[in-house]
Amino acid sequence: MTHPATASAINAEARHIPPAAITAWQETGPLRVRRELAGYMAKAGDRGLLRIDNPERAAIHLMTLVSVVDPAYLGAVPAPDEITEIVTSSIHVFLHGYLG
């Protein structure tokens, strides 16, 4: 099962999954990635490469922008060239807002 499919399944079945299992999945997946990314954001801010007041919020912004899964399409994942375009344009938008 792919990551997007796993995330969709967990979101769809969240009411039926024990809260401890949801918390464990969040801690080892999405929250871990967000914390790691926030650490990189903080370092980039400290070096003057990005204007980062809140590294955690900046990480959320970037993760949201580069998301290639639209839940409205029931887990459909775009073609590789479309993913490249989504990520490239998302990075452009992110840097436009956060460049130092």
What are the pLDDT digits (tens) for 27-59? 998 899 999 999 999 999 999 999 999 999 999
Quote the domain boundaries for residue 38: 3-98
* pLDDT of 72 above 60: no
- What integer pLDDT is reported at residue 29 of this predicted model? 86
* pLDDT of 69 above 80: no
DSSP helix/strand/coil, 78: coil
User: What distances in angstroms separate CA 87 from CA 8, 16, 28, 38, 100, one per listed residue?
Assistant: 20, 33, 23, 18, 21
Q: What is the pTM of this model?
A: 0.78
Q: Name the domain count of the chain.
A: 1
* pLDDT of 75 above 80: no
